[in-house]
Amino acid sequence: MYFESFAALISMEGHGPYVWFSYGVGIVVLASLLVAARRRRAQLEQMLKAAARREQQQNKAAVTGER
């Protein structure tokens, strides 16, 4: 490591707030892109599975209704 101590890494000779704020926001923004995509996927899966179940039940009802 370039810095002599953990405290020196955090303070960065006074530039710490600028640097750490930038990276903090950076990580949050990048992570939220990933989370948003994952959430959308989960939501789609739920929606499509529910639709498939409904369809199956309707088919079953149609079959039993015929008897």
Partner 1 sequence: MSFWTYFHKWGSPRWFYQFSGRLMPWLAIPAVVLLLGGFAWGLAFVPPDFKQGNSFRIIYLHVPASAVAMGAYMLMATAGAIHLIWRMKLAAMVMKSVAPVGAALTFLALLTGAVWGKPTWGTYWVWDARITSVLILFFLYLGILALQQAFENQEAAAKACAVLAIVGAVNIPIIYWSVEWWYSLHQPASIKFVGESTIHSSMLRPLIATLTGMYCFLGWMVLLNTRNEILYRERNTRWVKDVLTGAGS
CB of 17 to partner 1, least distance (A): 9
Give the gyration radius of the chain's Cα atoms.
26
Backbone φ and ψ for 15, nearest 5 degrees, come out as -90, -5
Task: Report which residue type is found at 48.
Answer: L
- CA-CA distances (angstroms) from residue 18 to 1, 13, 49, 65? 20, 11, 47, 70
Given 7, 38, 59, 63, the residue binding partner 1 (CB under 8 A): 38
Q: By CB under 8 A, is residue 25 in contact with partner 1?
A: yes
Measured from the CB atom, the residue of 2 and 62 that comes closer to partner 1 is 2
DSSP structural state of residue 13:
G
The contact set with partner 1 (CB under 8 A) reads 1-3, 9, 12-16, 18-19, 21-23, 25-26, 29-30, 32-34, 36-38, 40-41, 44-45, 47-49, 51-52
